[in-house]
Chains A and B, each alone.
Chain A
């Protein structure tokens, strides 16, 4: 019985690690694709959030956008926010490796994508990511 318990625990652990690895590798792959080119409107020299959403995405409107707005109020002119309608710009969404919405990219002052969030990211998480991206 102990052997079976241990085996099941091991299976659950391996499955959890595999899922985490897939999620992590997906993030790395997405960041690699994001080097392809920044959307128009990006101003070099300032940190940016590039935020992909669609008109039908409710969590984009109700959770993600308020979180980004809270961050913008906190950081003011030090942060630029570029919102892209992924349904209107599928080419841009594909280039950036967007798989779902909302997806947010943190861009540092040199124009490099250094973090990606495939899903809702609350303001605290975005703030920590932006802080990491600053020199």
Chain B
């Protein structure tokens, strides 16, 4: 992985909530163009390595004092992956909507909204889930052995339990 970067998690949260709200609105109002709009912003976000709707936070919510920054030293790759994955599914969903495959299209749009909601409100990370199970299945490249001499389940150089 690359170096740690200062990442504002509030911007990510606002972007995820925007995706949920707009996708829901797109479905309820039967406006596929709204789903396309979400797709475009998510694609741009993935390409520019920034939350697709982060501008809502930067230009409106934060200046108005409606949202506070929550900056953490974090790796950008997982966020890049989840936005890229979401954008890919949205592209497929949008294509489905415009090729008269409505059920397929709206299902994918709904899937992106559901995963964004689970991430925003439940902390659930699809990439973490996939990575974890690929590791459990023993696929090469998805596991990391503890340093030599470390008892399984224990942290290297320390006890399993943190004693204070």
Contacts and interface: CB of A to CB of B under 8 A. Distances in A.
A55 B159 CA distance: 16
Contacts of B164: 72, 76-77, 80
A61 B30 CA distance: 41
A37 interface: no
B6 to A, nearest CB: 11
Interface residues of B, number: 43
Given A12-B28, A84-B153, A62 B123 contact: no
A15 B118 contact: no
B146 A88 contact: yes
B75 interface: yes
A66 B7 CA distance: 14
Interface of A is mostly: mixed
Interface of A: 4-5, 8-9, 11-12, 15-16, 19, 23, 39-43, 54-59, 62-63, 66, 72, 76-77, 80-90, 92, 99-102, 117-122
Contacts of B9: 63
Given A9-B28, A41-B160, 11 more contacts: A8-B27, A12-B110, A16-B117, A23-B122, A58-B77, A62-B72, A63-B9, A80-B162, A81-B162, A84-B153, A87-B144
A85 B154 CA distance: 7
B142 interface: yes
Contacts of B163: 80
8 contacts: A19-B114, A19-B118, A63-B74, A83-B155, A83-B162, A87-B132, A119-B128, A120-B123
A12 B27 contact: yes
Contacts of A72: 162, 164
B123 A121 contact: yes
Contacts of A120: 123, 125
Given A19-B114, A40-B160, A85-B153, A56 B142 contact: yes
Given A85-B146, A100-B129, A58 B152 contact: no
B161 A15 contact: no
Contact of B78 (A58, A80, A101): A58
A90 to B, nearest CB: 6
Given A66-B72, A77-B164, A56 B144 contact: yes
A80 B136 CA distance: 27
B158 to A, nearest CB: 9
A58 B78 CA distance: 8
B136 A87 contact: yes
A39 B159 CA distance: 12
A83 B159 CA distance: 9
